């Protein structure tokens, strides 16, 4: 209990309620000031785990709200993942494209990787221009941008010109500074500890 509360003769429960009330008033004021209603661009980047997982979590929320959604996966593609197996069930509400050739150290063919990324961007650009899509997830696009498989300026132009109500989530490590600047919400995920460094292989339901 704080010294101020002791001076006022407040019990621990009363002090808790007082602090909670002050917090509620602060949050309510912030909510009241948030009056803009439009689609947002979310970027999940950093070396930590969970960038795509967060994106697919937002995809699940969007489907729950009855949104028409699109997914383009730029790098993953050479192996099956749990999210693909699950979300493919929503064929009426979701347009799902796995366009990658797998990780670059597996393909070892830059021309092939560029061609795959360009084909993926063509699909993504179509979605970003279509008001019929409420939510678009561009998984691992940041990697394609960092490796210059996709032209960054084209992405920035498409994001700026997209339908006003459309939400876009972009994942992958190494997000370019100009994309971070253009985004509405950016999360940089930091590695604290990862099982792989201890020799534990990728697990279904966790990584796959």
Q: Is the per-residue pLDDT at 66 higher than 90?
A: yes
**Model pLDDT for residues 8-49, shown as the tens digit of each residue:** 567 888 888 888 888 888 888 888 887 888 999 999 999 999
Alpha helices in 49-193 (DSSP H): 51-64, 82-87, 104-107, 110-128, 141-146, 152-161, 177-182
CB 98 within 8 A of CB 74: no
Question: What pLDDT score was predicted for residue 29?
Answer: 87
CB 133 within 8 A of CB 164: no
CA-CA-CA-CA torsion sign (4, 6, 12, 18): negative
**Model pLDDT for residues 91-149, shown as the tens digit of each residue:** 899 999 998 765 554 556 788 889 999 999 999 999 999 999 999 999 999 999 999 99
**Right CATH number for 37-198 from 3.30.1360.10, 3.30.750.80, 3.40.50.300, 3.30.460.20?**
3.40.50.300
Q: Which of 191, 158, 156 is nearest to 175 (CA)?
A: 156
191: tokens are: 């590695």
Average pLDDT, whole number, for the chain? 88
Every domain of the chain and the residues it spans: 1-35, 37-198
Q: Is the per-residue pLDDT at 7 higher than 80?
A: no
Give 157 or 28, the one with higher predicted confidence: 157
113: tokens are: 């990787």
Question: What pLDDT score was predicted for residue 196?
Answer: 79
Rounded CA separation 158/125 (Å): 7
């Amino acid at each position: 209990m704080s010294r101020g509360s002791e001076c006022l003769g407040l019990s621990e429960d009363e002090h808790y309620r007082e602090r909670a009330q002050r917090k509620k008033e602060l949050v309510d004021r912030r909510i009241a000031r948030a009056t803009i209603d439009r689609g947002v661009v979310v970027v999940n980047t950093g070396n930590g785990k969970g960038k795509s997982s967060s994106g697919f979590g937002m995809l699940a929320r969007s489907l729950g709200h009855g949104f028409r959604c699109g997914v383009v996966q730029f790098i993953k593609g050479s192996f099956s993942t749990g999210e693909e197996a699950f979300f493919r069930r929503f064929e009426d509400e979701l347009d799902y494209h796995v366009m990658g050739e797998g990780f670059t150290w597996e393909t070892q063919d830059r021309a092939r990787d560029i061609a795959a990324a360009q084909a993926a961007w063509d699909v993504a650009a179509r979605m970003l221009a279509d008001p019929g899509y409420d939510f678009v997830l561009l998984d691992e696009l940041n990697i394609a941008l960092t490796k210059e498989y996709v032209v960054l300026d084209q992405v920035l132009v498409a994001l700026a010109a997209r339908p006003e109500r459309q939400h876009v989530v972009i994942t992958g490590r190494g997000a370019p500074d100009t994309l971070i600047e253009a985004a509405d919400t950016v999360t940089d995920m930091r590695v604290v500890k990862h099982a792989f460094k201890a020799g534990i292989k990728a697990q279904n339901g966790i990584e796959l």
